Chains A and B, each alone.
Chain A
Amino acid sequence: MGSSCSRSHSFDETEAAENAKSADIDRRILQETKAEQHIHKLLLLGAGESGKSTIFKQIKLLFQTGFDEAELKSYTSVIHANVYQTIKILYEGAKELAQVEPDSSKYVLSPDSQEIGEKLSEIGVRLDYPSLNKERVQDVRKLWQDPAIQETYSRGSILQVPDCAQYFMESLDRLSEVDYVPTKEDVLHARVRTNGVVETQFSPPGESKRGGEVYRLYDVGGQRNERRKWIHLFEGVNAVIFCAAISEYDQMLCEDETKNRMMETKELFDWVLKQRCFEKTSFMLFLNKFDIFERKIQKVPLSVCEWFKDYQPIAPGKQEVEHAYEESFIRFVKKKFEELYFQSSKPDRVDQVFKIYRTTALDQKLVKKTFKLIDESMRRSREGT
């Protein structure tokens, strides 16, 4: 190996071909990297139930980028695959539940259904999914309509049944048309890859869209394990969107009844800020479930959470400005997070963008407005440097 450092063998055709191929690959990588410069990556982080996945879904619904026909068509095979995957998961789920559940008779399939189920499962085993034609759709529908399968579907959350199940099962005729072109909604429902990390691409209307700028939002909520082992993969994302459900200041974790959820969020935020991979990353903090928070502080004092023990309440009577009472709470919480941010960050962080937004993930208008603001702020910082 060492002696081949100097290439002493003669020039020949295969070598020329290899060199050409390698140069080709280099060119393509360069092209692709350039093309990706207008894609800005955002990472959604937060404790469990902080509202991350709701934000994610909202973005999907609000800001779909215009898919052209070619892009839409490219999802056909994925959608067909989703149909096969879904029915297979349900079929195998029914078999499993029939074995382990006490009231197993609910999950027992008819002999016809079993035959169809085996046939469809066999398809899933082959290298490429065949396209969905009328004949196969009949089989899929028959199986879907089996009461045992419907029972299984109602237990979907424990079986990893994809969210798109019902939507696609109800559109089988449309999906199997010879000239089927997926609609935007079909594409939104399509599950491209399985659990772990989900992504969505969008372009908030306005300057960014005109400039061809695009955002990609990643939600890694599906991973329930040691963050420290994969967080560094996200070095280089443009911004971290950290979701904190501030209404949870009086709640305990499901996994550990002795741990306060707000304290958990505080620790997580602190940990994320200290990660070296985010030294140069902007942070957008979403103080989420804001509406629930506003209602709760009327009844439950902030001081039940250790972090907020030093809150000094203003007298409810003394309001010059409407809502000053609720405002004082939210300003306090905001200040706490700001303190934590500056405490936990290294000095160079000062140059990075840090913005706090109050959000209610289920309020579409508010989410839309928030992302417009984020887009503006990020554009400004891009142009500034």
Chain B
Amino acid sequence: MASVAELKEKHAAATASVNSLRERLRQRRETLLDTDGEASLSSPLLVGDPLSWGSGNSRAFADCSVCVRLRGAVARYSKSQGRAPVSFNPTDLVCCRTLQGHSGKVYSLDWTPEKNWIVSASQDGRLIVWNALTSQKTHAIKLHCPWVMTCALAPNGQSVACGGLDSACSIFNLNSQADRDGNMPVSRILTGHKGYVSSCQYVPDQETRLITSSGDQTCVLWDVTTGQRISIFGGEFPSGHTADVQSVSINSSNTNMFVSGSCDTTVRLWDIRIASRAVRTYHGHEGDVNSVKFFPDGHRFGTGSDDGTCRLFDMRTGHQLQVYSREPDRNDNELPTVTSIAFSISGRLLFAGYSNGDCYVWDTLLAEVVLNLGNLQNSHDGRISCLGMSSDGSALCTGSWDKNLKIWAFSGTRKIV
């Protein structure tokens, strides 16, 4: 029987050796990736024009058998080809609606694919469904647990899902009758998570399936009609996240795949048919990953993090293709964190909401900020907590801790980008 002192010593030695192994792993990873992308740019690696997104060029990258960090390669190549940044006049994107009505900070929003409805969730414990065209409210649902962190609209627009500190996901049927006090009955509560529900998304074209991410370090695929968990991603299985999961994004080109971003600074790719292990883990961020979104072509995805940067990753190869980082603040204030991101319909623009109220519009190719919605007239007065693109790509909706939502539309001669 070992003495307590001996056991303590062994524990300390084991901890030290784990830490040193971790450090060695990190260094090795750095060296493997730390090749200057320049040399490889002229190689047959980059077959075709990476500027014509969506033409399957990631295949070219995948053929590469050497691990190359293409950090910044996308921007460098684009510039070398003489591509100019997308130019924006202050009038090309305007705030055309302010949706007022919440009495607390807005935490989450989602658009429907049809009907132009937006659902928003707020710290005041309400979900409000808005008609984006008229700014009228069509539904206001008072939640039993006011600590809501996420909401989503079903593909057919008939129901909404929301979740938060109650560690559950509640589903409301928008067609049900409200009672005398205007309260809407819950039609289903998905319980099983052991921590807060940070985000939820319906599987495209399937209003019966939903994926949630949670503070309990797992993601879950639910069958809404039975309330059962179909699969659990992470948790007891190795290769799952090792800290709270903040966000999920389902690949609309291949709905069997989704990515999840976590406080463990990584993003993981999952195949819903194989819950036992993550397909791939993406490293690069140095802080909590708050938001993940698939790029329109489904071959790449974007991320936003507490480290103040957004990044673009290649789904299949795992390469970090581009980093979008802000200029450091001259006043040396705390670096604003990225709370949420969205892509324009072509992917040429990356919208990023920040904790200080900025909303940068990044030129995805050239990694330059072309517009800051936070500087425009009528901008939000507080942190941008969520944003989302309409399905036809003509408008962006932002939600803020200033209790409002705003709709920004491309106007004038500016085509949808």
Query: Which residues does chain B contribute within 8 Å of A233, judged by CB atoms?
Result: 107, 123, 147, 149, 164-165
Closest CB in chain A relative to B220 CB, distance in Å: 14
Contact of B101 with A by CB under 8 A = yes
Query: Which residues does chain A contribute within 8 Å of B131, judged by CB atoms?
Result: 18
Q: Identify which of A98-106, A187-195, A206-214, A317-325 touches chain B.
A: A187-195
A232 vs B122: C-alpha distance when bound (angstroms) = 12
Contact of B400 with A by CB under 8 A = no
- Residue contact A225 to B216, C-beta cutoff 8 Å: yes
In the complex, chain A residues 222-240 whose Cβ is within 8 Å of any chain B Cβ: 222-226, 229-230, 232-236
A125 vs B147: C-alpha distance when bound (angstroms) = 26
Contact of A4 with B by CB under 8 A = yes
Query: Which residues does chain A contribute within 8 Å of B96, judged by CB atoms?
Result: 1-2, 5
- Residue contact B196 to A230, C-beta cutoff 8 Å: yes
A29 vs B140: C-alpha distance when bound (angstroms) = 8
Known: A2-B96, A225-B215. A193 touches B196 (CB 8 A): no
Contact of A196 with B by CB under 8 A = yes
A223 vs B195: C-alpha distance when bound (angstroms) = 6
Residue with the greatest number of chain B CB neighbours at <10 A, chosen from A33, A224, A229, A232: A229
Residue of B nearest to A124 (CB): B227
Known: A1-B390, A21-B136, A236-B104. A194 touches B165 (CB 8 A): no
Query: Which residues does chain A contribute within 8 Å of B158, judged by CB atoms?
Result: none
- Residue contact A22 to B137, C-beta cutoff 8 Å: yes
Interface residue tally of chain A, by bracket? 35 or more
A192 vs B191: C-alpha distance when bound (angstroms) = 13
Closest CB in chain A relative to B412 CB, distance in Å: 7
Contact of A257 with B by CB under 8 A = yes
- Neighbour of A222 across the interface among B149, B167, B394, CB < 8 A: B167
Query: Which residues does chain A contribute within 8 Å of B165, judged by CB atoms?
Result: 196-197, 220, 223, 230, 233
- Residue contact A223 to B140, C-beta cutoff 8 Å: no
A197 vs B182: C-alpha distance when bound (angstroms) = 25
In the complex, chain A residues 1-34 whose Cβ is within 8 Å of any chain B Cβ: 1-2, 4-5, 7, 15, 18-19, 21-22, 25-26, 28-29, 32-33
**Contact indicator per residue, chain B 342-364, by CB within 8 Å of chain A (1) or not (0):** 00000000000000000000000
Number of A-B contacts (CB under 8 A): 129
- Residue contact B409 to A1, C-beta cutoff 8 Å: yes
Contact of B378 with A by CB under 8 A = no
Chain B residues bordering chain A, tally (CB within 8 A): 60
- Residue contact B182 to A28, C-beta cutoff 8 Å: yes
Query: Which residues does chain A contribute within 8 Å of B191, judged by CB atoms?
Result: 194
- Residue contact A229 to B147, C-beta cutoff 8 Å: no
Residue of A nearest to B140 (CB): A25
Contact of A350 with B by CB under 8 A = no
In the complex, chain B residues 106-164 whose Cβ is within 8 Å of any chain A Cβ: 107, 123-124, 126, 128, 131, 133-134, 136-140, 142, 144-145, 147, 149, 164
Query: Which residues does chain B contribute within 8 Å of A193, judged by CB atoms?
Result: 144-145, 166, 168, 189
Residue of A nearest to B104 (CB): A236
A235 vs B385: C-alpha distance when bound (angstroms) = 15
Q: Can you spell out 21 A-B residue pairs with CB atoms less than 8 angstroms apart? A: A1-B394, A1-B395, A1-B407, A1-B409, A2-B96, A2-B394, A7-B134, A19-B136, A22-B136, A28-B182, A193-B144, A193-B166, A196-B145, A196-B167, A196-B195, A225-B195, A226-B288, A229-B196, A230-B196, A232-B105, A233-B149
Residue numbers of A with Cβ under 8 A of B are 1-2, 4-5, 7, 15, 18-19, 21-22, 25-26, 28-29, 32-33, 124-125, 127, 192-197, 220, 222-226, 229-230, 232-236, 257
